[in-house]
Structure 1
Amino acid sequence: MYDLIVIGGGPAGLAAACAAWEKGLNRILIVERDKELGGILNQCIHNGFGLHYFKEELTGPEYAGRFIQMLKDTGVEVRLDTMVLTVTPDRQVHMVGRDTGYRIEEARAIILAMGCRERTRGAIAIPGQRPAGVLTAGAAQRYVNMEGWLPGRRVVILGSGDIGLIMARRMTLEGAQVLACVEVMPYSGGLNRNIVQCLHDYDIPLYLSHTVTDIRGRDRVEQVVVSQVDERRQPIPGTEMVFDCDTLLLSVGLIPENELTRQAGIAMDPRTNGAVVYENMETSLPGVFACGNVAHVHDLVDFVTAESQRAGRAAADYVLGGAVPDGPVLEVKNGDGVTYTVPQHIRPGRVAKNCDLFFRVNRICGDSQILVQSGDTLIARFPREHLAPGEMEHIVLPRVLLDRASDSITVSIQEVASK
């Protein structure tokens, strides 16, 4: 029996395993379905990683390499090219690997770190024909950066998430012509720095409140039709623009990879599409933890690292100290202007000093206040000059403030009236 099985060898799994080893666990297994560790970072050859954690600017492979090297200094066991099929409520992990065959391993604790996947054309029901040349931005990124293939020469990108923005720049640098980036919302879904560095710097137009309403082509994409949308995101007749292109890249959102989580009977949050977690990233199933993009989609890998280290340490505490009575539990609710919160529950008795709380807003806000209330009582207030849905927000709640709350706390946004 293992002390801990970590499912996923990307940035979340690596950080969690290293933290659990440092906390005293000896028998740790990482199960990774790919042929190498590192996860999505291996294809993210652009820089911008590690500014928070390492205090220097790294590429994705460099960031992953740092943690892979840390792992080599431990006794953590790794199984590559191995797919986990099922996680049971009694913490059995069913897996199949090329070298090991079908195996069932038991663990005292499990960390779910499977990451996320991209939404596809089918998920958003784009009308039109079904030619070659329609693919997700992440797939195109792998083709270009790892396989050495250029997917197309004349490109339209639907969605302004960070991967789509980065691929606009990448395709341009490889010699393709990116005709437009199209976003159905009235604001971009990516980080502002990526809008500037990947679109503005290369004179790539961004069409907000627009979407693709038709794909044309028999064997290969020949044209896409882009239309303006109204406030209900419905296409406006007469606003069509036709782009002659051979490739359509989709950057239309990420979905936490939670089939295993659901199979295990773990409570899910429909707002994040991830597991409901406590302050230490423990799920509703004792001894099973979730961290990284499988819990909620992050902007920065540095935040994934910090969250996963918290999960790794908590898993070690669970194994070494056993289950601890819960005590009072605060439910964390999203109020006006907030889409979701993570964690969804906080046990003040388990918080040593501070509790990290992450959330996203559902609209662009100027000068604002983040309000944390328990009933009618305001327990904390955090000023912000700017808030946007494309950027995850983070606040720290001291234990002393949590002790003032009753049975729940609500996080909401209040915009400051301009003078």
Structure 2
Amino acid sequence: MTEYDLIIIGGGPAGLAAAVSAFDHGITEILILERDGELGGILNQCIHNGFGLHTFKEELTGPEYADRFIRQVKERNIPYKLNTMVLDISVEEPDLSAGGKVPVKTVTVMNRTDGLAVFRTKTVILAMGCRERPRGALNIPGYRPAGIYSAGTAQRLVNMEGFMPGKEIVILGSGDIGLIMARRMTLEGAKVKVVAELMPYSGGLQRNIVQCLDDFGIPLKLSHTVIDIDGKERLKGVTLAQVDENRKPIPGTEEYIPCDTLLLSVGLIPENELSGKLGVQMAPVTNGPYVNESLETSVSGVFACGNVLHVHDLVDYVSQEATNAGRYAAEYIIQTSTLSESAVPILAKGGVRYTVPQAIRVSHMEDSLTVRFRVGAVYRNCRIGIYLNGRPLRSIRRPKLAPGEMEQVVLKREELLLAEQKTGTPLSSITIQVEPEEG
């Protein structure tokens, strides 16, 4: 049975950055497992530009961005296995009599070359990414005709396979993939008739709304959804209706739109089936693992980063997070740190839906820690309040907060320790919430 120090599950942008970081911090026995036939993950089909501004200080396409990290992996001779499906991860308690210090993980995989293979490793980084929410989750009445695709599937067909899904397009959902595909289909000669969004706000970045819809004259209808699908063999059209504050269709607002293609951009789901089987504690809002400041899950020596942890806006943020995860995994291997210290929970309140990380061990913190979060509605002229044990630490003004834009605050280790000294009580909670602008 082959043994490694670190196995990374997923060869997309998160897995690649984590591998490079772990190697650069002294870990050489690394293996990347990727179920697709090539490294790079979703970036291979994202041929539009806009990647790399934070990481490389230049604008790249998705394949170019992925290639930068693939080259770094190959330069370091980090081994990887393609077309390899991970079937199971299990944890064995350390054999203390034999000098074992950390739980050993057993990873079971399958591919055409090795058949069924089992590897042992000290640490695992979960970097499986996410998948699109399918039509079945929407409960839209109607038959199942040809012409209904998830936006990501259509993106792959157009950008990689060279197929055009249709000529008259309706897009349901205003996530970033849907917005980008509205532009892409227009550039390929299709007519995008409308982008409909169930919520009263867009789920994508403001820059994508401007560049992909406004610049091409594509209408965005908020508080609208598809209530019927027309067509048996091939899609003929869809019926849109406006929805009320409870997201229920309003009678009398129905509008029939002829089309031959419906693209669905209705949310992303982190791929955490393996995480659940492993016994990792999951965060209900993100559908990703519950992690501490080191991106370590509730299972000692198992780390998570990228879209498997929570859905990101920018791949640059994925790479930053994965770089940290690789470094923390290397420190775990070298120092055999554990979760023995109780972590201080970060509470999301007052309009904040979730935070990542969800807990902090102050003694394990670096000088500063970036906490990322999303809000649940659109807020204007507001403040982000940070509280330690219910006492205000600081307040940050924001002209606008929106669910489609990830926000972040920076916590400094020094200020957390100083707060404990001033009050004479141990830190028991950190709260992040949205507050109205005073005055």
Q: TM-score range by the shorter chain?
A: over 0.9
| One-letter amino acid of the structure 2 residue matched with residue 108 of structure 1 | K
Contact 2:39 2:70 in 1 (8 A): yes
Cα separation, 1, equivalents of 2:82 and 2:129: 16
Q: Does 1:54 align with 2:75?
A: no
What's 1:170 paired with?
A: 184
Match of 1:344 in 2: 358
Alignment counterpart, residue 369 of structure 1, candidates 360, 383, 400:
383
SS, match of residue 196 in structure 2: strand
> Separation in 1 of the partners of 2:342 and 2:274?
29
Q: Residue in 2 aligned with 1:416?
A: 437
TM-score (norm 1): 0.98
Which residue in 1 is equivalent to 2:261?
Answer: 247
Q: Is the 8 A contact 2:301 2:329 kept in 1?
A: yes
Cα separation, 1, equivalents of 2:156 and 2:416? 44
For the structure 1 residues 70 and 147, does the alpha-carbon distance in structure 2 shift closer, same or farther, using more than 3 Å as the test?
same
Unmatched 5+ residue regions in structure 2? 93-104, 421-426
| Offset of residue 36 of structure 1 | 0.4
Distance in 2 (alpha carbons) for counterparts of 1:315 and 1:375: 30
Q: Secondary structure of the equivalent of 1:142?
A: helix
How large is the Cα RMSD of the aligned pairs?
A: 1.0
Residue 267 of structure 1: which of 276, 281, 285 is its match? 281
**Does residue 157 of structure 2 align to residue 135 of structure 1?**
no
Q: Is the 8 A contact 1:380 1:401 kept in 2?
A: no
Separation of aligned partners in 1, 2:13 and 2:339? 31
- 2:86 aligns with one of 84, 87, 106: 84
CA shift, 1:385, in A, is: 1.8
Q: Is the 8 A contact 2:300 2:338 kept in 1?
A: no
More moved, 223-232 vs 408-417: 408-417
Q: Are 1:315 and 2:329 matched, yes or no?
A: yes
Q: Secondary structure at the match of 1:37?
A: coil
For the residues of structure 1 that align with 2:342 and 2:132, how far apart are their CA atoms?
37
Amino acid at match of 1:317: E
Q: How far off is 1:88 after superposition?
A: 0.9
The alignment's TM-score, normalised by the length of structure 2, stands at 0.94
Please give the secondary structure, in 1, of the residue aligned with 2:80. strand
Question: Identity rate of aligned residues, in percent?
Answer: 56
> Aligned equivalents of 2:80 and 2:284: distance in 1?
32
Are positions 1:156 and 2:170 aligned together? yes
CA distance in 2, matches of 1:380, 1:399: 14
Unaligned residue ranges in structure 1 (runs of 5+): none
What CA distance in whole angstroms lies between the structure 2 residues aligned with 1:44 and 1:74?
Answer: 26
| Correspondence for 2:304 among 277, 282, 290 | 290
Give the match for residue 24 of structure 2: 22
Instruction: Describe the SS at the equivalent of 2:91.
Output: coil
Hey, what does 1:407 align to over in structure 2?
428
For the residue of structure 2 that corresponds to 1:385, the secondary structure is strand
Note the alpha carbon deviations across 1:19-76, whole angstroms, 9 max, x for none.
0000000110000000000000000000000111111100000000000011111131
In 1, the alpha carbon distance for the partners of 2:150 and 2:429 equals 40
Q: Is 2:390–2:429's contact at 8 Å kept on the other side of the alignment?
A: no
| Equivalent residues in 2 for 1:104-119, closer than 5 Å | 104-119=118-133
Shift of residue 401, structure 1, vs aligned partner:
2.3
Change (3 A) 1:415 1:206: same
Runs of 4+ aligned residues of structure 1 deviating over 4 Å after TM superposition are none
CA contact (8 A) 1:279 1:356 kept: no
1:117-154 deviations in Å (ceiling 9; x for gaps) = 00011112111121111110000000000000000110
Aligned length: 418
Which residue in the other structure is 1:37 paired with?
A: 39
Matches within 5 A, 1:182-261: 182-261=196-275
